[in-house]
Amino acid sequence: MAIELPWVEKYRPERLKDVVGQPEIVQRLQSYVEKHNSPNLLFSGSAGIGKTSAAVALAKELFGGQFERNFLELNASDERGIDVVRNTIKDFARTLAFSGDFKIIFLDESDALTGDAQQALRRTMEKYTKTCRFILSCNYSSRIIEPIQSRCVVFRFRPLAAKEMQQRLEEIAKKENVELGEKALDAIFYVSMGDMRKAINVLQASASLGGKVTEDTVFNVSSRAKPREIKEMIQLALKGKFLEARNLLDTLLYEHGMSGEDVMLQLYREVIGAEENEIESKTKIALVDIIGEYNFRMVEGANERIQLEALLAQFMKFKK
């Protein structure tokens, strides 16, 4: 049997118009294609929202058939440090561009570069301005030294909205002959939180179970609790029903295989998102405070189950 290509790669945008969301960014990049020129760029934003895709699509549109020759992709976190800047980049940047007038070096995860490497990069960027443009991609632009930021046009990518993801996911489902159950997409939006890579991966994993993709399969493959399960656990604790809340916690940990950290994060999300009639604002503040405390203990290495149970016990103090 042929190994199936991950859908995230199979459906990586080929052209700028296929990059969903980020409309202003796409428009600016398209104007660079029209002018056949581009400044140095810095793409910042969280994971899986189209930074690499936009860089690759931009280069494909600029260089067409000469794309391979004129585009160099490096991952700063694999090849961390100063040598990669000194050697690989220089070798590539030094030679003349094949077709167009310039080449593009795409440096992924550039916030992983050490300070020294960034300083070296800064000089390299200057030296090869005639032949080379740089696109740096990072999760946090604050980790990029100021002199580099000022040499780049900065684009901040946003997590995608549900309706932006919807069309693309439906398109993929259709091409792959996958049937989407009624609440499947809502569940995918909930677990992926604007991360398109995660959304597509969850869709593929659910589909690989065979049959229709449903709310249940989505939550199962992503080891997430359904929001209502978490809500129910919170409400049980707030009603003082400790044993029932604890049983539900056990189900999440042992039957759904969730990690303590995942439960904690979802607890936080549901408390913050609760309506006033579910949890009053005053109580909400106190609960967030408790979550903060127990999250810290868990990160410090305390036993997850004990900490989560203790957290539920703390919640019981707010019994009406």
Ligand X SMILES: Nc1ncnc2c1ncn2[C@@H]1O[C@H](COP(=O)(O)OP(=O)(O)OP(=O)(O)O)[C@@H](O)[C@H]1O
Interaction between residue 11 and ligand X (CB under 6 A) = yes
Q: Which is nearer to ligand X, 53 or 307 (CB)?
A: 53
Residue with smaller CB distance to Mg ion, 15 or 123:
15
SS3 state of residue 66? helix
* Nearest residue to ligand X on Cβ basis: 50
Closest contact distance (angstroms) between CB of 191 and Mg ion is 20
Residue 60: which of ligand X, Mg ion, none does it interact with, CB under 5 to 8 A by kind?
none
Stretch that binds Mg ion, among 46-54, 172-180, 226-234, 271-279 (CB under 5 A): 46-54
Instruction: Write b or e for each residue in 170-203: b if 16 or more Cβ atoms lie within 10 A of its Cβ, otherwise e.
Output: eebbeeeebebbeebbebbbbbbebbbbbbbbbb
**Residue 222 near Mg ion by CB under 5 A:** no
Q: Which does 166 bind (CB under 5 to 8 A by kind): ligand X, Mg ion, none?
A: none
What number of chain residues touch ligand X (CB under 6 A)? 23
Among 48, 120, 133, 180, binds ligand X (CB under 6 A): 48
Residue whose CB is less far from ligand X, 7 or 32: 7
The Cα–Cα gap between 34 and 13 comes to: 19
Amino acid at 174: K
Stretch that binds Mg ion, among 48-56, 70-78, 244-252, 270-278 (CB under 5 A): 48-56
CA 207/CA 209 separation, integer angstroms: 5
Question: In angstroms, rounded to a whole number, what is the distance separating the alpha carbons of residues 5 and 2?
Answer: 9
204: contact with Mg ion by CB under 5 A: no
For residue 16, CA distances in Å to 78, 180, 255, 258 come to 27, 27, 43, 37
Does 19 interact with ligand X (rule: CB under 6 A)?
yes
| Residue found under tokens 């036993």 | 303
In sequence order, the β-bridge partners of residue 133 are: 104
The minimum distance between CB 240 and ligand X, in angstroms, equals: 43
How far apart are the C-alpha atoms of 139 and 32, rounded to whole Å?
23
* Residues 173 to 212 in contact with ligand X, rule: CB under 6 A: 196-197, 200
What DSSP designation does 164 have? Answer: H
Residues 120-159 binding ligand X (CB under 6 A) are 137, 139
Give the nearest distance from C-beta 64 to ligand X in angstroms. Answer: 20
168 binds ligand X (CB under 6 A): yes
- Rounding to the nearest 10 degrees, give the CA dihedral for residues 167, 170, 171, 175: 180
Residues in the chain: 320
Distance CA 134, CA 93 (A): 10
Closest separation in Å from C-beta 84 to ligand X: 17
Note the residues at the interface with ligand X (CB under 6 A): 8-9, 11-13, 19-22, 47-53, 108, 137, 139, 168, 196-197, 200
